[in-house]
Chains A and B, each alone.
Chain A
């Protein structure tokens, strides 16, 4: 670990006091603890390394909670460190005391309250081990002020042995054989590739397995990047805003192979009707994900990278030309609902597609949560693991700015762009100050439609057009850029888009672009919450008829 994002305060001052003695530690001072957490999260997603955030007790610690939950829900290896009041004051409601280990308990993989300085080395070693192995996740260490101060003999434990924690690697051969047999006899197999492929660096293993078994691949939101979109077996994103053909392939497959994904409701729609006749093989490192939402015929516990190697060895070489051409025909017939809208207007879809095209796949693309996030997933041309950074499970608006900051800290040589919603941007844009101080040249592209767009979309579709509290007002975003001393660019027309992107890339960032996109636009296709994937709706007109 070399970088941490933090915010000082009373009880962590003893630690800050020592930072000057450790110049190798790159402490990035944020403007709000939530942002420190999201930055650590973005850092970890972009690099695969442990992301670390630090906050003081009480409000500092509680401000981290959203970020902790966000990271854990998406299985991101992160370590959160908080200070707490002196041991003798714990439980006495002292100034800035919060029972933060009690608060984070249900949203972390594990947490610690370290009561003796002798235990610090153990706690850190074990915490890092637990956060980064098995199914990765958030781990939290809480340290009372006087534990920071008291002196102890330093001894770094060589090995760590947690008997209640034994992350699996390869899978048991019997289940591999069982799965291989089902795959070998399938006519219409389909892979659901999830975040696990990226977390365990298994993109190559996925491609080899798919190619040998001739199995087409669809991705969950967080699985985007596990296979390049131009690969012949790649069919893009499934789920609530996935493509018509991906969702119908999912509904018509005879064998489904879920890889490193947790059979989430946003990806699968109504569970009972997500293809009840298919045989389901579910590979996940976390056995508790098996049979949680969906009945699985062959649950396989193991690291998806190892399991894919085993499966590739076990299956026979196969092709499924009829099945692929069935999906291809759907793709040709329904391409329109997954295309950038035609016409002269400036749409978010157009701006995002142009950004993606210009910056290429070696860049990093972050998003917030809402319409712009789904359009980024649809038109971001996500082609490599760790290219796309988005809040999947928790769906945290305001993630975009601090997560991009963390990604930029992790990848100083990559161009980092973040697609922002005009609502989410207003939750966390104070971090521009951090970017300026820490010289993190993030490119922020606000898809400004003067609405909380996704909420408005739901009110239009499911609340009888009763628009309530969604027409959020905007400050002058260029003046905000100016206030922080960074470049701001406004784009009102389609024809100015390319020039603005080019200028942003050429500018030594951070830089902000305010894209004034059309206001009344909705994300299609859509599977309404609680509907089945086979009920994918492709347009407003179709929605009005149903």
Chain B
């Protein structure tokens, strides 16, 4: 089942200024307001100085709306919106290391193939399976792999985009001076700092 708008999980996309402390501000907000982060993924965007966070939180759609509005209140958050699950694509990457004795390999490969996952590492007694899919698909794959023994696994957390032409985008652009201030403020400048005794 996909993440539904009224389900127990909400996906929020936030465009944020790439500034020192922005992740702390977001994390601090979640702690202070008592929201549970299921996953958080951050990466750069096509515009310099702007990062995109995809945050999955537990809760109803009302919780999702509150989270988005509280996020939007942060000055460093350019905009934040709850993504409607039926109108957006969300994907997550997982690497799963499974116990695979030679006599079990074929079976496990069949499972992986059903889920369109691929094998990226092989040893005498284990496999690493890579899958890029929606959260629920990954859950289903791990359920099917668990009987063989999952040694360890790592997941990226979801990233999501709205379907079609609609975008979650920055409409205003900053001039170079302002961008320099916003991106630099709070970071120790490069080069020689004045000596302590100065």
Contacts and interface: CB of A to CB of B under 8 A. Distances in A.
Given A88-B193, A287-B69, A106 B29 contact: yes
Interface stretch (B74-82, B106-114, B116-124, B143-151): B74-82
A105 B186 contact: no
A164 B79 contact: yes
Contacts of A157: 177-178
Contacts of B194: 86-88, 146, 149-150
Contacts of A123: 181, 185
Contacts of B170: 163
Contacts of A332: none
A520 B168 CA distance: 61
A87 B17 CA distance: 23
A101 interface: yes
B198 interface: yes
A291 B62 contact: yes
Contacts of A102: 24
A288 B73 contact: yes
Contact of A113 (B25, B175, B186, B195): B186
A165 B172 CA distance: 11
Interface string B28-64: 1100100000000000000000000000000000100
Nearest to B173: A163
A495 interface: no
Most chain A CB within 10 A, of B25, B175, B184, B193, is at B193
A89 B196 CA distance: 8
Interface in B15-32: 16-17, 20-21, 24-25, 28-29, 32
Contact of A164 (B17, B24, B187, B193): B17
Most chain A CB within 10 A, of B24, B66, B69, B177, is at B69
Interface in B74-116: 74-79
Given A106-B29, A116-B185, A123-B185, A86 B196 contact: yes
A113 B20 contact: yes
A112 B20 CA distance: 10
Given A86-B194, A109-B75, A288-B66, A161 B24 contact: no
A119 interface: yes
19 contacts: A86-B196, A87-B188, A87-B193, A112-B186, A113-B185, A114-B186, A119-B181, A119-B184, A123-B181, A161-B178, A163-B172, A163-B174, A164-B16, A164-B17, A164-B79, A165-B75, A287-B72, A288-B69, A292-B66
Interface of A: 86-90, 101-102, 105-106, 109-110, 112-116, 118-119, 122-123, 130, 146, 149-150, 157, 161-165, 286-288, 290-292
Given A113-B186, A292-B66, 7 more contacts: A115-B185, A115-B187, A115-B188, A161-B175, A164-B77, A164-B78, A288-B70
Top 7 A-B pairs ranked by shortest CB distance? A288-B69, A163-B172, A110-B75, A164-B78, A122-B181, A113-B186, A88-B193
